[in-house]
């Protein structure tokens, strides 16, 4: 994994972002065709299956799906993305499992805010990895009202399984966008983690968050704007893929019994349940 440290990741990512947003006509179509063949992308699920209709590679990569392609399960929590479960389970104090033998803290993940992180002490987490072939829009696991968003600068290591097993604190080291919500059962967080070649991340309420990349933490507050999203609504997207980490407070989530490391998942599948609300 030495090459992960030596690669000019920021420069490669900036170049990839420019190429992915370029309107290059037949060259763009040729690139998309090669990508579809290489990664066996199922274009029949796309709202627009004709690859020649995409003006840029980013348009293709963030393609919408056909209506009904991802039905929303009848569950308290649904999976927010297509991908594979990297890890999920209990948070040990403030420690999250990254891979066997590797842990990182909730404080580091959310950008060094101990007050925010403390809400998830001994809570639960789920990490889902999106591969290149996957659908790259991110949806709400449950209803939520947006409170804050932070853009945290960082490295741009790859986030595949091999890197997660070898780079300490990977998800708390990479560039990321932290979205803090209030739900019916309490606060929850969705963290969009960047990676090598991930050109940018965007949310439906803000648009493209990065670039710019000023090298300092940026924060936006939304408590007075009443930004509400329903379960299954799109909340963001990766312009070239990565990983999502979810945080929930202690005692608030019971994961579906099928959820375990390496499980392939689709957006809208049952992820877990909340405990019944206590009557006043």
Catalytic residues: 82, 139, 242
Token couple for 182 = 């209030």
H/E run at residue 187:
strand 186-193
Token couple for 89 = 């389970």
Token couple for 34 = 């090669």
Distance in angstroms (rounded) separating the CA atoms of residues 170 and 160: 10
Residue 180 contacts residue 111 (beta carbons within 8 Å): no
Q: In 154-189, which positions are buried (b, 16+ CB within 10 angstroms) versus exposed (e)?
A: bbbbbbeeebbeebebbbbbbbbbbbbbebebbbbb
Q: Running DSSP on this structure, what letter comes out for residue 115?
A: H
Q: Which residues contact 101 (CB under 8 A, 6 or more apart)?
A: 165
Distance in angstroms (rounded) separating the CA atoms of residues 15 and 156: 13
Token couple for 13 = 């990512």
Distance in angstroms (rounded) separating the CA atoms of residues 14 and 271: 34
């Amino acid at each position: 994994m030495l090459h992960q440290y030596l690669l000019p990741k920021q420069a490669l990512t900036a170049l990839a972002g420019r190429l992915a947003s370029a309107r290059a006509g037949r060259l763009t179509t040729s690139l998309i065709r090669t990508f579809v063949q290489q990664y066996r992308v199922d274009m029949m699920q796309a709202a627009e299956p004709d690859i020649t209709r995409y003006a840029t590679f980013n348009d293709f990569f963030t393609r919408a799906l056909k209506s009904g392609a991802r039905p929303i399960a009848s569950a308290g929590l649904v999976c927010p993305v297509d991908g594979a479960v990297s890890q999920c389970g209990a948070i040990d104090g403030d420690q999250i499992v990254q891979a066997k033998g590797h842990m990182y803290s909730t404080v580091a993940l959310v950008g060094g805010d101990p007050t925010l992180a403390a809400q998830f002490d001994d809570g639960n987490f789920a990490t889902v990895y999106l591969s290149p072939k996957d659908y790259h829009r991110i949806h709400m696991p449950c209803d939520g009202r947006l409170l804050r968003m932070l853009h945290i600068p960082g490295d741009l290591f790859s986030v595949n399984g091999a890197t997660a097993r070898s780079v300490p604190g990977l998800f708390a080291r990479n560039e990321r966008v932290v979205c803090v919500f209030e739900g019916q059962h309490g606060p929850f967080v969705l963290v969009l983690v960047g990676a090598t070649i991930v050109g940018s991340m965007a949310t439906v309420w803000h648009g493209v968050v990065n670039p710019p990349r000023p090298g300092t933490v940026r924060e936006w507050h939304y408590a007075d704007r009443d930004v509400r999203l329903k379960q299954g609504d799109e909340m963001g997207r990766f312009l070239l893929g990565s990983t999502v980490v979810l945080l929930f407070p202690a005692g608030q989530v019971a994961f579906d019994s099928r959820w375990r490391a390496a499980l392939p998942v689709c957006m809208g599948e049952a992820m877990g349940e909340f405990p019944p609300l206590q009557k006043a």
